[in-house]
Amino acid sequence: MPRVITPLTDTQVKKAKPKEKDYKLADGLGLYLLVTTTGSKLWRYDFTFEGKRKTSAFGRYPEVSLQDARRRHIDARKLLANGADPAATKKAAKAAIKAPTANSFETVAREWHAKHKHTWAERHAATLLGRLENEVFPYIGAEDIGKIKPPQLLAVLRRVEARGALDIAHRIRFQCGQIFRYAVATGRAERDPAADLKGALPPVKGGHYAAFIEPKDVGPLLRAIDDYQGSFITKCALRLAPLMFVRPGELRQAEWTEFDFDNAQWNIPGSKMKMREPHIVPLSRQALEIIKELQALTGDGKYLFPSTRSPQRCMSDNSLNAALRRMGFEKDEITTHGFRAMARTMLDEVLQFRPELIEHQLAHAVKDPNGRAYNRTTHLQARREMMQTWSDYLDGLKAGARVIPFKRVDE
């Protein structure tokens, strides 16, 4: 005969003591009190669902009384009778409570990140998300994004500033501004409160032009440029910037009449150079390919990179840096001018080219042992080889290959 289970009483539950092993006090129909060796008293319900033995937890005594446990037991049995798994239903309900609402800052921020991360380097995308998870979500993540006010966001930034990370605080304000503007565009907010916080934080002290100088960082940057979704003209300029590493103003003002395709070189007149001396930029095979692609679009005009407002003007001085910002790179990570620092550092330390070749190609003031300034054609053949080697090396980094440093090229 089946064993008859006598329902528990409040006194039995209250007086239950721990033993050498965990044990159960049954209340009937699968409900029982589990008494552990540490003295914890836990309500449990054992049941069978789709042929599998399962257990649902109803809480701890005395927080959950005997009567409360029985009510939860009844509710669970009703679910089971209707073909639902009580344990899975409970888990889903808890997840729904914890899950951000459709209009919460966290939900919108994660959606914004998911839509843009393919345009960023993988490392950069992870940094942006980690910054939100650590610095922003714990404080305003659950808030309706359309109701967040500037003082709430400022409080988040002040916490970061207070620990001495002022530059990070500025980055977070910029990043939150992008998220709020995305919320405006998708109809979940009316305005961007981050815009009201301009000037609320102390400025970060300036320094050298930001640049990536580690090979492991350059590959993702180049891939991000190749994936740029903006203007094709801007994309061409971004692709050429690391290959030729001229000053941004020299690149923007490049004119078609200055290019000698027969000799694969760009002849920049002295009037456009900082040192007021004419300069030659040897064109690698990769640079020529990009320039010829661009020629089909702008070759009938004056400038390689004309302004969108007038073909008689070149693109604005902020176009390329703005494109880098749209790609997710911040101004203290990389600027257009930073491509020069990238080339100077890696040509020297990785590819081991002679410093005078590098400096001459950077159009810096370089003098021979007798103190005379080199002219524009000095070491031209060696510089041609250097520029091709540099382009090939960048291709390797972009492809993600393990690139072994080249040996120094001698004249």
Query: Quick check: helix, strand or coil at residue 20?
Result: coil
Q: Which of 156-160, 244-248, 261-265, 269-273 has the lowest mean pLDDT?
A: 269-273
Res 215 pLDDT > 80: no
pLDDT at 265: 93
Res 7 pLDDT > 60: yes
Pairing of strands 41-49, 31-35: antiparallel
Domain 10-98 sits in CATH 3.30.160.390: yes
Quick check: 41 and 34 in contact, CB under 8 A?
Answer: yes
The neighbouring-strand residues paired with 367 are 373
For 78-131, what is each residue's pLDDT tens digit? 888 877 778 877 776 665 455 557 789 999 999 999 988 877 667 677 888 888
Res 408 pLDDT > 50: no
More confident residue, 147 or 84: 147
Q: Among the residues of 117-201, which ranges form H helices?
A: 122-135, 137-140, 150-162, 166-185
Where in the chain are the domains?
A: 10-98, 105-197, 215-399
Biggest CA pair distance of the chain: 113
Phi, psi of 334 (to 5 degrees): -155, 140
Q: Which of 57-66, 84-93, 294-303, 350-359 has the lowest mean pLDDT?
A: 84-93
> Catalytic residue numbers?
247, 274, 337, 340, 364, 374
Quick check: 168 and 127 in contact, CB under 8 A?
Answer: no
pLDDT at 224: 86
pLDDT at 95: 55
Q: Which of 167-176, 200-209, 331-340 has the lowest mean pLDDT?
A: 200-209
Domain 105-197 sits in CATH 1.10.150.130: yes
DSSP state of 35: E
Quick check: 159 and 134 in contact, CB under 8 A?
Answer: no
pLDDT at 174: 87
| C-alpha–C-alpha distance, residues 149 and 153, integer Å | 7
pLDDT at 117: 82
Mean pLDDT of 265-271: 90
With cut-offs at 50, 70 and 90, classify the pLDDT of residue 410: very low
Q: Taking all residues of the chain, what is their mean pLDDT, rounded to a whole number?
A: 83
For the record, the structure tokens of 230 come out as: 């903006």
Phi, psi of 43 (to 5 degrees): -85, 130
pLDDT at 4: 58
More confident residue, 101 or 407: 101
Nearest partner of 389 among 373, 369, 410, judged by Cα: 410
Q: Which of 64-73, 215-224, 290-299, 325-334 has the lowest mean pLDDT?
A: 325-334
Phi, psi of 275 (to 5 degrees): -85, 5
pLDDT at 409: 40
CA dihedral angle for residue 330, residue 331, residue 336, residue 342, rounded to 10 degrees: -90
Instruction: Name the CATH superfamily for 215-399.
Output: Intergrase catalytic core (1.10.443.10)
